[in-house]
Amino acid sequence: MNKGKFAVIIAYALSAFGTPSAMAGEVLTVVKAERQPLMQSERGRITSCGIHFSVAARSTSAAFGIQGSINMTFFEKQYPALIFKMTVVEPKNGSLTRMDLVHAYVAMGEFSTATWKTLDSDDGLSWLAYNTLDESRLEAEFAEFIRVSEIPIHRAWLGFNSGVGSDFTLQLPELSTNEMNIPREFDECRSAAVHQMSSGLE
């Protein structure tokens, strides 16, 4: 986690009040949201394309810094997979503390990560979930994979829970003027990766 980045994000969320105490199950107001395209490669081969989001959000009694991503992986001689990660911090005793998430998701319309399989995250507190394709599902479900990978670009809903009460939820805003290049850059990355994948599976 980039603590400096989160400190800036939280500062926006705290601008209207002092140190809050969190309550469960509220719809949060987005104070600031940023998205960035992601690409990873290994030895000149694209291994993943994704979209990262950072959000400052608050209610009347709570403030949070939320950071996460959806990545579509394209490892050589493997079918694609989707990986969703979310980390949430909140201010406690003058510092930022990670919430121990018991569930998190991103959703839009009929598409959601809520039912994906989960993995233990490296810090033990973040939420990490994944969905995979195999040969039997590739043709039928690849288009759905594409749509799910694009969710953070749109006005998607994020939800998270630390085990107390119902979910905190918020809706991402439309892309800002400075973010209008993200869909193109993400699509270029993904198209190149799909071409590499197709060549490797022949």
pLDDT above 70: residue 196: yes
The predicted pLDDT at position 82 comes to: 93
The predicted pLDDT at position 16 comes to: 42
pLDDT above 60: residue 24: no
pLDDT band for position 174 (cuts 50, 70, 90): very high
Weakest mean pLDDT among 18-22, 75-79, 168-172, 180-184: 18-22
3-class DSSP state of 9: helix
- CB 85, CB 75: distance < 8 Å: no
Q: Dihedral sign for Cα 8, 12, 16, 20, please.
A: negative
Task: Dump pLDDT digits (tens) for 140-155.
Answer: 677 788 888 899 999 9
pLDDT band for position 109 (cuts 50, 70, 90): confident
3-class DSSP state of 168: strand
Residue 112 pairs in a beta bridge with 107
> Percentage of residues in the chain with pLDDT exceeding 90?
47
pTM assigned to the model: 0.83
Q: In terms of residues, how long is the chain?
A: 202
Most confident of 19-23, 59-63, 160-164, 185-189: 185-189
The predicted pLDDT at position 173 comes to: 95
- Report the 10 Å Cβ neighbour count for 134: 9
- CB 72, CB 186: distance < 8 Å: no
3-class DSSP state of 178: helix
Residue 35 pairs in a beta bridge with 53
